[in-house]
Amino acid sequence: MKTLILIVVFIIVVTQPVMAQQVVEPKELWRIGDSEDDEGAIFGFIEDIIIDQDNNIYVAEAQQKVVLVFNAQGESIRSIGRYGEGPGEFFYINDLFFNPDSLLVVLQWMPIKLELFSKDGESAGSINLPDTLSNKANMMFRADYVGNNLVTHISSTSFPQPLIVQENSLEIINQQEELYSIYSETKIINTINNSAMEEEDYFTPYLWSVGLDDKVYIAPYRNQYQIEVFNLNGQLERVIEKDFESRRRNNQEIEFAFHVLYEAPPGYPQINVEMSDYDQDIIKFYSLINGQLWVLSSYGCYDDKPEGSMGIFDVFDQQGRFVEQISLQGEGDPVQDNYYFLNNRLYVVTEVLNSMMMGKDSYNRDEAKPMVIICYQLW
């Protein structure tokens, strides 16, 4: 006897008139990493930030190969892990998250390794991935838990001459080690004639997050204002859309985008990319503790903003309905910096883009500044 399961997907299309932006100015609580503060930490490169139930902050310091821990007041507590290939060690830190048992998970992207630590910094083993996943991935960029299921952003690269084949996917692994694919794609690059690849085809949907509702949110398309919402079994539940005209870039912006996204470091072959005249529609999005979804579009990121604005965000409620636009005021640049909305706080990590550009010929070393973490209270 076969059972027919009907999955109803709700598509929420937003067609809202232009409305006034609400201005929100969060209160700065503290900052660390400022070179003028002799007692502050000096950061090399911050890859990720998370917090625990006590609002302690865990900072993935990729250059120092450690996790730095600070309390809710920004005071240093301890460091976790060290450089190496043994237990409790790693060559690089890509991502941080907590497992269902509240153990800290440190992800090393390649070779794939997920090390476990207690909150006191003691090594607590590692996560063993099922063969179904290990056999299809040699890189893992990000991961997180949705309930007891592990969500992984994986990739593999092979070199069947004269081609380069890249496969990317977002997979959910349940407790029975079954694999559910939310998204998958394959890119094929011909290295002989180095024919140009369209920027739209080169796009990989790296924008995804796990919401407090135990749903997985992903923006899978470059030039569609669309966020898909999946449950913990990898089933599509709803789609959030908004009427949106892609933002046209000028020549200077196109050149800048090429250097940031596609310029190869010295000594590496340069892939020929045919740049688009348009920005991607959704630059970043964030799931907040109050259930709202804040979306930073290309217009909210790049266009003229009120003086002192950290970006203009489209705000959606828990049902995916557009509510308002918010201009967030404070020290923060949506192009240069990374934002982390954690509990009722916003953590801004400055100078991320400049630090990422260090290994490229177009990098301007005269503009180098130290990385700083700025903590704001939202409400």
- Phi/psi region, residue 335 (left: phi>0; alpha: psi -120 to 50; beta: rest), is alpha
Is residue 57 within 8 A of residue 347, CB to CB? The reply is yes
Coil, helix or strand for 299?
Answer: helix
Predicted pLDDT at 16: 44
132 sits in which H/E element: helix 131-134
Predicted pLDDT at 13: 52
The domains found in the chain, sorted by start residue, are: 21-43+247-379 (no CATH), 45-128 (2.40.10), 146-241 (no CATH)
* pLDDT tens across the length of the chain (379 residues): 333 333 345 455 554 444 568 999 999 999 999 866 545 578 999 999 999 999 999 999 999 999 999 999 999 999 999 999 999 999 999 999 999 999 999 999 999 999 999 989 999 999 999 988 888 899 999 999 999 999 999 999 888 877 778 889 999 999 888 888 888 888 777 665 666 778 887 777 789 999 989 999 999 999 999 999 999 888 999 999 999 999 999 999 999 999 888 887 777 777 788 999 999 999 999 999 999 999 999 999 999 888 899 999 999 999 999 999 999 999 999 999 999 999 999 999 999 998 888 766 655 655 668 899 999 999 8
Q: Measure the CA–CA gap between 371 and 35, rounded to whole angstroms.
A: 9
Number of Cα atoms under 13 Å in the Cβ half of residue 199 = 16
Predicted pLDDT at 20: 67
Cβ atoms within 10 Å, residue 174: 16
Instruction: Spell out the SS3 assignment of 216-253.
Output: EEECCCCCCCEEEEECCCCCEEEEEEECCCCCECCHHH
Greatest Cα pair distance, the chain, in angstroms, is: 72
Q: What is the DSSP letter of 302?
A: H
Number of Cα atoms under 13 Å in the Cβ half of residue 280 = 22
Is residue 237 within 8 A of residue 215, CB to CB? The reply is yes
φ/ψ of residue 78, rounded to 5: -165, 175
Residues in the chain: 379
Beta bridge partners of 140: 154
- Please spell the DSSP secondary structure of 165-225, one letter per residue: EEEEEEEEE-TT--EEEEEEEEEEEETTT-PPEEHHHH-----EEE-TTS-EEE---TTS-
Provide the whole-model pTM: 0.91
Cβ atoms within 10 Å, residue 241: 16
Q: Measure the CA–CA gap between 316 and 293, rounded to whole angstroms.
A: 5
**Cα–Cα nearest to 80, from 67, 89, 91, 70:** 67
Is residue 326 within 8 A of residue 294, CB to CB? The reply is yes
**Cα–Cα nearest to 312, from 24, 31, 8, 12:** 24
355 sits in which H/E element: helix 352-356
Measured between alpha carbons, how far is residue 190 from residues 187, 196, 271 in Å? Answer: 10, 9, 10
Is residue 98 within 8 A of residue 104, CB to CB? The reply is yes
Predicted pLDDT at 340: 98
Predicted pLDDT at 223: 95
Q: Measure the CA–CA gap between 9 and 231, rounded to whole angstroms.
A: 11
